[in-house]
Amino acid sequence: MSTFLAELVGTMILIVLGGGVVAGSLLKFSKAENSGWVVITIAWGFAVAIAAYTVGGISGAHLNPALTIAFATIGDFPWADVPMYIIAQILGAIIGAIIVYIAYLPHWSQTKDQDAKLAVFATIPAIRHPLANMVTEMIGTFILLLGILALGGNSLADGINPLLVGIIVIAIGMSLGGPTGYAINPARDLGPRIAHFFLPIPGKRDSDWSYAFVPIVGPIIGGVTGALFYKQFFLNENSVAFWLFTTLFVVICVVAFITQSKAAKKEIV
């Protein structure tokens, strides 16, 4: 199997299991309906682990453009292969979302909540504030990359890494997933959002393209910053890129704080 196909298949498995648990929890008359956030976060973590076990030996199981770009930024992955990996990840996510749609075929017409149907495919913020939402995605993906790279600094049993990465994803979902639904992966959000746009889902709403940039840009900035942070402070490898991305990270946080404060004052008035 080629690395392209491995990334496609791995991301497809990720979305089938991750999107599938959201569908089971949200769609009407599913036997898992209302199973809740804990079930969703645990299943997403296991989805990451299973996908990584499936294709990790072939492609490294990035399954996430933010990881691929971050690894390339710190020199752990060739830039020449980045476009191929990202295309494979997005295509795999689209196919995975289509499979989820087929698996729950009778339930779409029975579900009247349009937001619930969109949430099976793409993230929707609990409180819409794009900059603040982006900050949440940045923080979550920062932790993801830092955690993944830090695993390499420990003596671990062979084959346990994918499971530990899945546990990191569970922890991020439970701790930081509430505000945005924790995409922490541009392909995980963009691919299924594209599928939602094209699929003949009964009574669906728009695909919320005005928000789509948040789970793309946020994870990339956060992931690259997390990887550079690891190199800077854990490996003592100083770089200009670290200070540039850290400055960008801080600026976005400050602007988000200012705009949110202004919005809060208007609400009080």
Quick: pLDDT tens for 99-124: 999 999 999 999 999 999 999 999 99
For 245-254, write each residue's pLDDT tens digit.
999 999 999 9
Q: How many CB atoms lie within 10 A of CB 20?
A: 20
| pLDDT the model gives residue 127 | 95
DSSP string, 9-72: HHHHHHHHHHHHHHHHHHSTT-TTTT--HHHHHHHHHHHHHHHHHHHHHHH----SHHHHHHHH
The model's pLDDT over 14-54, given as tens digits with 9 standing for 90+, comes to 999 999 999 999 999 999 999 999 999 999 999 999 999 99
Domain regions of the chain by residue span = 3-268
Q: Report the C-alpha gap between 93 and 207 in whole angstroms.
A: 16
Q: What is the pLDDT of residues 216-261, one digit of tens each?
A: 999 999 999 999 999 999 999 999 999 999 999 999 999 999 998 7
Q: In the CATH scheme, what is the code of domain 3-268?
A: 1.20.1080.10
Closest CA to 96 of 137, 51, 60: 51
pLDDT for the residue numbered 154: 84
Neighbours of 190 (CB within 10 A): 22
